[in-house]
Amino acid sequence: MMFVPVDEQRFGTLRADQVSPKMGKDGAQKITRDGVSQWVVTVLRSVPGRSTKPIRITVASPVCPDLTQGAEVAVENLVAMDYSFVNTEGETIHGVAFFADAVTEVR
């Protein structure tokens, strides 16, 4: 897999929406190879002249990221990875997954 760095300064304004555990197919929370819990941070991305879109960012952290809904957030070392797979109905699904070292509130 190839991870592509994202220029966070040009990515738009991000506001916290929700945080949830990243779940595996077995129903358990996913962890990294080092045993650190993975979380999905959903943020609302706004860019002037475009509609606001939700973006899901996976982060690894021993504790759930503490974010206030609606607060502006900063993302540390944001990267993107494109993916493609065939689902159980035989349809090819394409998308972009985002990962970061941390998502924190702008103070």
Residue 37, strand partner residues: 31
Residue 10: pLDDT over 90: no
* Full set of structural domains in the chain with CATH: 4-105 (2.40.50.140)
Distance CA 107, CA 52 (A): 22
pLDDT of 72-106, one tens digit each? 999 999 999 999 999 999 999 999 999 999 999 99
The two tokens of residue 23 are 């779940």
Could you identify the residue written with the tokens 């493609």? 84
Q: Global pTM?
A: 0.90
Distance CA 44, CA 56 (A): 9
Residue 71: pLDDT over 90: yes
